[in-house]
Every structure is written in C-alpha cells, then in structure tokens.
Amino acid sequence: MTSYTHPADVRQWFELQHQASRAQVDVPLVVRRERLLRLGKLLDEHGPVLAAAVQADFGMRSPRLTEVADLFVLRAQLSHTLKNLSKWMKRKRVSTPLFLMPGRGWIERQPLGVVGIISPWNYPIQLALGPAIDALAAGNRVMIKCSELTPHTAAQLAAVVAQFFSTEEMCVVQGDAAIAALVSSLPFDHLVFTGSTAVGRKVAQAAAANLTPTTLELGGKSPCIVDADCDLQDAALKIVHGKLLNAGQTCIAPDYVLLPRGKEAAFADAYRAAVAQLFPYFEGNADYASIISSRHLARLRTMLQQAQTLGAQIEVMEPQPDTPPPPPTSIGDGVARQMAPTLVFGVTQDMQLLQEEIFGPILPVISYERLDDAIAHINAGARPLALYWFGRDDGIRDAVLRQTVSGGVSVNDTLMHITHDNLPFGGVGDSGTGAYHGEHGFLRFSHQKSVFVQSRLSLGAMLYPPYGARFDRIMGLLKRLF
C-alpha cells in the first residue's frame, strides 16, 4: 500500500530547498509567521481527514485519540511559537571582557538552511509536524520522510502539505526503508530522526558522511519508581494512562515499574481498577489503539511467552462485564490486533521484557527493598528517555533526580513533561541526542553566529609584536586583573 516518491524527485526536491535556502539567507519574521499560520490552517481544515488516515493505518485508533495526542499538541506548540517568535529572533547581547572594551559583541540567530525530518509511525502527525514547526520558526526549509507503516497518513499528509506549501518550502516524501536511507544520505543542514536506537545509529552514520548534525529522538526502557508512601490509586491511574495511551506505543511510555516489595497485590488491584476506569473493554474499543501490525503483535506475544516460560507471573486484564460487542468485521484486522493490558511479576534480567523496549501494553513490575536498589537498577542500564517518580517526600524525589540521568522526568504523573512548552524534549546516551520544543527547538534549528564589533578606541594594538618591556608591563597588569 505504500506510495513511493521516486528517488530522483527526492534529490530534486532537496536541491530546490537547498538553493532556496542559500538564495534567501535572511528570512524575516513576517515570512516565518506566515508559514506557521499556514500550517495552523492546514491543521484546522484537514485535521479530521488526517485523523481518519491514522485510524485507517492502525485499524483501530479513535480520531479523538489523534486529536489529543497529535493535533492538540501541535496547536499548542504553534500558539506558543507564534507568541514568542519575535523575541526568540532578536539578536542576543552579551557582556564584553575588560580587555576587549570598548568593543561589543552579540549573537545573531540565523536559519541553518534545510532540515530533514524522518518521522515514526506511532504519532505520525505530531512527530512529523512538531519538529517542522520549530524548523520553520527558525527560518528553514523542511523535508519530511513519513513512516511506511502509516501509508494512509503519509499520503494524506503529503497531499495537504502540497496544498499549503511550495516544494521549496516544505514537502513530504513517501517510501520504504530504502527511501529513508536515501533521505539520511542527503547533505541536510540538520537531520531529525525519531525511532528506535538501532535505526538511529544507522541514520547517524549516514549523516556523518556529510557532517550533518543530528537530533535523534530514540527510546529506551523508561522506568517508573513508586515510592512506599505514594497514593497508590492515583499513581496507578496515571501509570495506566501513560502506559496504555496508544496501547503502549509511545516512546516515553513507562516501560517497567519499580515497586516496594510487599506492595505487589495492592498495586495489581489498583492497576486493574484504573484499567477498568479508562478502558472498560478492549476489543472494538476505538479509544484503545490496535498494535500497528501483525509483526509487532507477534513480537509482543513472543516476549510474554518467553517470560512465562522462564517463571514470570502473567496477569492479563479482563474487560468489564456487559461490555459492548465487537464492531462489524468491516473494520478489518484492527480488532484482532488490540492486545489486552498485561502486568508481569517476577521478571528477571534474562527475559526480553527487561532487555528490549516493549512498545506495547505489557508492564513488567520489579520489586525493590531499598530506594538505592531501584536507583542501582536504573543506572545499570542504558540511560532512559523518560523517568517517572511517584511519592510525597521531596527529599526522596530530589535524591532520585540527583542520582539518575534521563532525557526528562515527570513527578507524580507520566508523559506530561513532553507537553511543557518551556522544557526541552530529548534523550541522552542510547535514548537520543539533542532536544527541541519551544525556544530550545528554535535554537536547535538555528545557527548562533558570534559577532564582535571593534571600537576605534581599541587598545588591542598594544598586544601586537614586537614584544618587549611595554608588553611585559601590560601583561603584568592584565594578570593582576584576572
């Protein structure tokens, strides 16, 4: 079903954008704002059609879920960007060292040129257009490569972007991994990739051939620490929301829970009640997304089977009694790919569930005796994209923040740090490099050019050769000043 952009067209479109970026180095505020307003109009006029395309790709995913997780996030980002763009664009004055006075310096914030975006399938609108908002705000041209796993969304996004933007401003490329590899090899001024760590390494290697700087938003095993004194019912509800949004197919979803030993039964009860509150049933529930493909579903089932074989205890959440019947078969295999939420206790490090990012509605629970044990477990693995902590004691919270490193943190909630416009979003180590959102995204896609303006009254010539007694006296004075 995937539509392909011919490789020759990809190269031609890039060349158009490259030439346009060099022909118009200075992109004024009015041009940037107009492009962002056009993008907002695109969302307003075509949001429902895009949401329907996402539904078609998943088989079962409510347009309302896409509204809150993709479109609302983009509208909020656009509003924040338009409100602050003129301030972000201003040259930044900096103080001047004594020995350079009365000269002065500042930083000019300029467009990089052409920004490439390779976006994933799990939030196919937000993670394509979110980086594009920051890149356009910074005055760049943008090329987006959409995932081949969401072909309806890719085709629809390509069509509507072409209605609102010229190819030299922003375009959407469609195709499989070969087209993605081609896009990775182009000499962009910056390249953004969102996806798995394994593919991220390949993208970084391809970009390195052109010395193209990259922002890699990857994944990892994001831990969720439950402290002994937290409100377990409140924590369970927020963990369920973070874990089961998009059926766990979220890069910052809680990947596993670290739970005080002895709380296992209470947590299972609270988790089960929270699942029933948010998703009374699963099969045919449009609010509960399908797993994206049969291959991904088979992988999740294999991981569960392996854990069970190695001794883990599996607790599959059951639908509430008297729930609606499954919808008609015309929906396709989306219903068949709706996997019931599952808790797994007794997990060990030799299980795939603790070795790989899960990306599905399976939540392993690891019991700990002391907080130090939980922290040691986190630090023994790759640094995660997100970390979550639930509790009441600020001292314990701060100890966790000091002693762990992660891309971002939400305290007493999940996912919410990504929605904060003034917080950078990005990974660290295996979970990614670079960050964007808000002014951080604007700066990520800008070149900060240093400018120093010398004064006619400069005394710099006093440090020119030939060196002698006068030079020694001046250097002696400077040494006393610093």
Catalytic residue set: 217, 251
CB 386 within 8 A of CB 409: yes
- Start-to-end CA distance of the chain, whole Å, equals 67
312: tokens are 């883990």
At 95, the amino acid letter reads S
Greatest alpha-carbon pair distance for the chain in Å reads 96
DSSP-derived 3-state class of residue 408: strand
Neighbours of 270 (CB within 10 A): 21
CB 167 within 8 A of CB 160: no
CA 134 vs CA 17, 36, 40, 142: distances in Å:
17, 9, 13, 10
CA 264, 270, 273, 279 dihedral sign is negative
Q: Which uninterrupted H or E stretch holds 193? A: strand 190-194
DSSP-derived 3-state class of residue 143: strand
DSSP-derived 3-state class of residue 378: helix
391: tokens are 């509790």
Alpha helices (runs of H) in 144-212, residue ranges in sequence order: 151-164, 177-185, 197-208
Enumerate helices (H) and strands (E) in the chain, giving the number of each. 16, 18
